[in-house]
């Protein structure tokens, strides 16, 4: 039977937003080097089989962009970086630092390979059909001394769980609930349960496991320590017991976990895969191999998320938490090798330089990627343990036992 699941890793990229993007026509022209009218004119499109012309254009554009970036590299290093370090919101000890290879070896021998650093990562799968949506969330905790534990949660969404109704009333209630949901053939990103909420629960679990289950001196996570999914409460609103208004339980639980991990433990590191902040990445490309820079705090960005997405009854409390924790967090960039891109990292301001040493030491183990290998290991174990093959087999076997092996598969799942 075909795979009826969608998979995603935890939302590990900072500065996510769901605002609609508006682009003026002159901005389109400046960015793409041609007018929108020319782009829409099919006479300017190349035949699909003309691979030579399309490849030549791609090679030309890539070469020009690389040359331009190399050309301004010195200016970025000599002028752009000092301006970032001199800003009012620059973090404690802002500046650029070169790391001696001997220090890297010390971190390997004294921390990483002794198991004093543990990394946590998660993955999720979702099966969607008309009668049921199943969301699976798996999280793993690892060190270079071995697997420190795996955790699994499955959520089952049915549009109607009320029993004992009149059959006609039951049918109409089910139809009304499904009418209010998005189309069943829409992508799951439009379904708040299978996307924002699922990502929020997974992000919470990753941070809670680092705070409560890890016993390591240093704890490493994937993404932003206070991500969009949690700052917005995952879209989950719950009526308070006994009345008295609503609450956002996922956000409130996150407050406690953040304080325990970020403020009490302090020796933590977070590294996102593909953050959207291009100013940070621009600063990173000005670095030489085995360099890192401490450049910012995330307070303002987090306040904007809270301001734009939380209901009034929670804004003041959430802003107070952000103003408490945000200044304690340092945003840095590092570059492990000349052949790898720079990456952003987050750390407690009191231990930002030590955190940079650890993340650099772990990243040089993968010269071509320049990304922490311990995070990759956590991701590999998580996907191996909670992979789509096993999940899909369990789901499809259950449908077969229910007498409906193909009935609720969507068209794409049965297409040859």
pLDDT at 130: 72
Which class for 3: exposed (0-12), middle (13-18), buried (19 or more C-beta within 10 A)?
A: middle
pLDDT at 15: 46
Position 66 pLDDT exceeds 50: yes
Among 87-101, 132-146, 286-300, 395-409, name the one with the lowest average pLDDT: 395-409
Percentage of the chain exceeding pLDDT 70 = 81
Please compute the mean of the pLDDT values over residues 334-349 and round it to a whole number.
95
Position 319 pLDDT exceeds 70: yes
Position 350 pLDDT exceeds 80: yes
Please compute the mean of the pLDDT values over residues 172-189 and round it to a whole number.
54
pLDDT at 185: 42
pLDDT at 301: 93
Across 73-82, 138-147, 400-409, which has the greatest mean pLDDT?
Answer: 138-147
Give 300's contacts (C-beta < 8 A, 6+ positions apart): 89, 326
Among 92-106, 198-212, 236-250, 299-313, name the one with the lowest average pLDDT: 236-250
Give the predicted TM-score (pTM) of the model: 0.81
Q: Both ends of the chain: CA-CA distance in Å?
A: 11
Position 169 pLDDT exceeds 70: no
- pLDDT tens across 375-402, in order? 999 999 999 998 888 888 888 888 888 8
Residue extents of the structural domains in the chain: 80-396
pLDDT at 97: 96
CA–CA dist 235, 170 (Å, integer): 27
pLDDT at 94: 93
Please compute the mean of the pLDDT values over residues 172-191 and round it to a whole number.
53
Residue 20 pLDDT level (bands cut at 50, 70, 90): very low
Mean pLDDT across the chain, nearest whole number?
A: 84
Please compute the mean of the pLDDT values over residues 295-306 and round it to a whole number.
94
CA quadruple 7, 12, 16, 21: dihedral sign:
negative
């Amino acid at each position: 039977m075909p795979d009826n699941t969608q998979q995603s890793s935890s939302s590990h990229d900072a500065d996510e937003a769901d605002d609609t993007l508006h682009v003026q026509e002159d901005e389109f022209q400046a960015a793409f080097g041609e007018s929108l009218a020319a782009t829409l004119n099919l006479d300017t499109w190349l035949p699909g089989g003309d691979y030579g012309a399309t490849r030549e254009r791609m090679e030309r554009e890539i070469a020009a962009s690389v040359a331009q970036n190399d050309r301004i590299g010195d200016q970025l290093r000599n002028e752009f970086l000092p301006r970032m370090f001199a800003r009012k919101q620059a973090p404690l000890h802002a500046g650029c630092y070169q790391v001696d290879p001997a220090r890297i070896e010390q971190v390997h021998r004294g921390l990483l390979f002794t198991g004093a650093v543990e990394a946590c990562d998660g993955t999720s799968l979702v099966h969607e059909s008309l009668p049921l949506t199943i969301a699976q969330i798996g999280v793993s905790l690892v060190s270079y001394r071995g697997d420190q534990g795996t955790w699994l949660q499955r959520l089952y969404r049915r549009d109607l769980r009320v029993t004992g109704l009149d059959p006609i009333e039951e049918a109409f209630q089910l139809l009304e609930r499904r009418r209010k949901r998005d189309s069943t053939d829409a992508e799951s990103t439009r379904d708040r349960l299978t996307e924002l909420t699922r990502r929020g629960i997974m992000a919470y679990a990753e941070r809670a496991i680092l705070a409560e289950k890890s016993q390591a001196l240093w704890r490493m996570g994937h993404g932003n320590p206070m991500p969009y999914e949690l700052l917005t409460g995952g879209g989950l609103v719950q009526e308070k017991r006994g009345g008295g208004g609503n609450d956002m339980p996922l956000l409130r639980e996150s407050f406690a976990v953040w304080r325990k991990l970020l403020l009490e433990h302090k020796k933590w590191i977070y590294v996102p895969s593909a953050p959207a902040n291009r100013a940070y990445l621009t600063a990173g490309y000005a670095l030489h191999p085995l360099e890192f820079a401490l450049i910012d705090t995330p307070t303002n960005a987090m306040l904007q998320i809270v301001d734009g997405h939380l209901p009034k009854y929670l804004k003041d409390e959430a802003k107070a938490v952000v103003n408490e924790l945000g200044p304690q967090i340092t945003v840095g960039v590092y570059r492990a090798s000349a052949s790898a891109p720079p990456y952003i990292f987050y750390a407690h301001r009191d231990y930002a330089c030590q955190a940079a040493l650890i993340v650099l030491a772990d990243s040089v183990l993968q010269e071509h990627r320049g990304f922490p290998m311990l995070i990759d290991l956590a991701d590999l174990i998580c996907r191996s343990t909670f992979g789509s093959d096993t999940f899909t087999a369990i789901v499809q076997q259950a449908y077969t036992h229910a007498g409906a092996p193909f009935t609720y598969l969507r068209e794409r799942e049965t297409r040859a």
